[in-house]
Structure 1
Amino acid sequence: MIRSDKGVFWAILLPLIAVLIWSLNIAVTRYVAEYISPVSISFYRWLIAFLILTPWILPKVWQQRELIRPHLKQLAVLSAFGLVLYQGLSYTAANYTTATNMGIINAFIPMFTVLVSLLILKDIPTRFAVLGCIISFSGLLYVIAQGDLRQLSQLTGHAGDMLMVLAVFFYAFYGVFLKKWNLKLPLMLSLYVQIIFALLYHLPFILWFGLDHLNSQNGLSVLYAGIFPSIIAPLVWMLAVQYLGPNRTSIFMNLMPVFTAIIAYFWLAEVWGSYHSIGGLIILTGIVLAQMKARVHIQAKS
């Protein structure tokens, strides 16, 4: 029992590290937006990840090609939603909004997943889940409007936030499709094939918009994006799921807005306003309400 407790203690650090990496990546995305186009950083990110993974993963992909081949269409769809649409829109949104807002909107992934699950999986949400979504969405509108809901009529001033909401909505599709298909593939093999599709998807955009050169202003940010959030964070998160389980691990995602805001405050000098605190509290209340009801419901059935 003591050994198990120690294992759980150290396992708690795993999702914290992953969320910290992803939070820092949001700040990096906002920082580098002035020095490289969204298409360029998105392409370079997955190119770096591809080059790093290829020596280890490509032989395994070839060995298990018969296992992978039937799932190519599904992996192509996953890549489009999770690696291209979500990431591409996030990089575009960074040109028009703050890292703090991006982190807060990212916390909406569980809420949007409930809605997408209703559309695709026909999973009927509980009344508490619906109430949690409504409360959280109210908090999101409050943050976007900077505490003055009358500003919502001026949509042009919130283009970055709207793009980020759309990005998170696409990522919810990614998660629901993963659940629906439940691919029996090793995580890294699945990720590697999705990266290949992502690089292919970028080619038309590169031909149209061009590709920015790497330099001293954007090089380190691109390198960070290609290594830490693309490879290390998913691996650490996967280990956390193995030790803690998916439900306990997913709770740590709620720390992303907090980590992002702290990083953005000290690094990007972004101001944390009272509307962030009020709206963030409303959002967190809705998320906790939905998750608490889900746990109670499961315990009642068992």
Structure 2
Amino acid sequence: MVGNAGDNSWLRAMPWVFVLIWSTGFIVARYGMPHAPPMTFLAWRYALSILCFLPWIWLAKVAWPKDRAQWLHLAVLGVLMHAGYLGGVWAAVKAGMGSGLSALVVGLQPVLTAVWLSATGGAVTRRQWLGLTLGFTGLVLVVARKFGAGSEGDTATWLNLSFAVIALISITVGTLYQKRFVQPCDVRSANTVQLIAAFVVTLPLALLETEGMNWNGELVGAMAWSVLGLTLGGSSLLYMLIQRGAAASVSSLMYLVPPCTAILAWLLFSEPITVVTIAGTAITALGVSLVVRPAKA
């Protein structure tokens, strides 16, 4: 009984820990991108993460997926959840989008996921349609304020918005794909297969970049946290939560990521928090909460 209670307590705490870690991802991008091109940074991140996972897998005698189909599904998931999502976010930040705005765009993922699941399962409720409308309304409000006229490092353009939308679509499709096709397996071997696939896709893009890596304290710190905190910690937690059926708990908290990121970005990078930004973020958060809130019995 004690063991079960401990397991349940940890499972309840996992979504909160995940959201806290996830919020730092957009901040790390702002720290790293002035000193490195996005795809090269991510290729290094994937390679170092693989090198961390492999000894762990060997020492713990972790089993690899036995089914060839599962290898393929995990590889597809890696392209979506790592290469597509992270590539989009890092490229958007490199192209001048602020941490707060990038978090706000990607923060619509729970809305798209819930609406899609409801639509394919029968019908989208009026509350969900209202939440979807509010979510996009809040986003448009913030984007319109920053489009072409934001501060340095925090400007919305068609280019960086396109990258952010790619990230949004990638993580949404990846979440749905995992729920549909990926069977439960050890998170360490599963994550390693995903990272290998992401590295294979990202490396050719990295080789096309002409900017070099400026290895200074900020870049080393960003890389270290990206590997240890975000990939080994955050991505593994997300996989475990979806695998254990706790994805709804994550979705119900994801609307806290954009305001948390906005506050951190204001403290660390002086990204302005205007009345319009607060209003837009609040409207989007309300929209997300309406969509992911469980229906009354």
Task: Spell out the pairing of 1:137-152 with structure 2 (5 A cutoff).
Answer: 137-146=136-145
One-letter amino acid matched to 1:205: L
Which residue of 2 is the match for residue 286 of structure 1?
287
Residue 37 in 1 paired to residue 37 in 2?
Answer: yes
Change (3 A) 1:10 1:82: closer
- Distance change in 2, residues 1:27/1:196 (3 Å): same
Q: Which residue in 1 is equivalent to 2:268?
A: 267
Q: 2:192 matched to which residue of 1?
A: 192
Q: What SS does structure 2 have at the residue aligned with 1:94?
A: helix
Q: Which residue in the other structure is 2:257 paired with? A: 256
| Distance verdict in 2 for CA 1:28–1:116, change over 3 Å | same
Task: Assess if the C-alpha contact under 8 Å between 1:14 and 1:236 holds in 2.
Answer: yes
What TM-score comes out, normalization by structure 1 length? Answer: 0.82
Moved more, 226-235 or 265-274: 226-235
Question: What is the number of equivalent residue pairs in this alignment?
Answer: 289
C-alpha distance in structure 1 between counterparts of 2:134 and 2:118, whole Å:
18
CA contact (8 A) 2:115 2:128 kept: no
TM superposition score normalised by structure 2: 0.84
Summarize the Cα distance change of 1:229–1:174 in structure 2 as closer, same or farther, 3 Å threshold.
same
Q: Which residue of 2 aligns with 1:76?
A: 75
For the 8 Å contact 1:93–1:163, the answer to whether it is kept is yes
Q: Structure 1: give runs of 5+ residues left out of the alignment.
A: none
State the AA in 2 paired with 1:36. Answer: A
- Within 5 A, what are the aligned runs for 1:58-73? 63-65=63-65, 67-73=66-72
Structure 2 vs 1, CA of residues 107 and 156 (structure 1 numbering), >3 Å: closer, same or farther? Answer: closer
CA gap 1:247/1:211 in 2 versus in 1, 3 angstroms: same
Q: Which stretch of the first structure deviates more once superposed, 159-168 or 242-251?
A: 242-251
Shift of residue 59, structure 1, vs aligned partner: 7.3
Could you say what the CA RMSD is over the residues aligned between the two structures, in angstroms?
A: 3.3
1:207 is matched with which residue? Answer: 207
Cα pair 1:135 1:283 within 8 Å, conserved: yes
The answer to whether the aligner puts 1:103 opposite 2:103 as a matched pair is yes
Stretches of structure 2 that go unaligned for 5 or more consecutive residues are none
Aligned match of 2:161: 161
SS in 1 for 2:145: coil
Determine helix, strand or coil for the equivalent of 1:183. Answer: coil
* 8 Å Cα contact 1:94-1:160 kept in structure 2: yes
Q: Decide which moves more: 109-118 or 277-286.
A: 109-118
Counterpart position of 2:18: 18
Change (3 A) 1:275 1:162: farther
Q: Give the Å deviation of 1:206.
A: 2.9
CA distance in 2 between partners of 1:165 and 1:115 (Å): 17
Residues 1:11 and 1:220: Cα distance change in structure 2 (over 3 Å): same
Once the two structures are overlaid, the 10-residue window that deviates more, 52-61 or 273-282, is 52-61
1:101-120 per-residue CA deviation (whole Å, 9 max, x = no partner) reads: 1122222011122455478x
Q: Which residue number in structure 2 is paired with residue 47 of structure 1?
A: 47
**Identity across aligned pairs (percent)?**
21
Q: CA deviation at 1:58?
A: 5.1
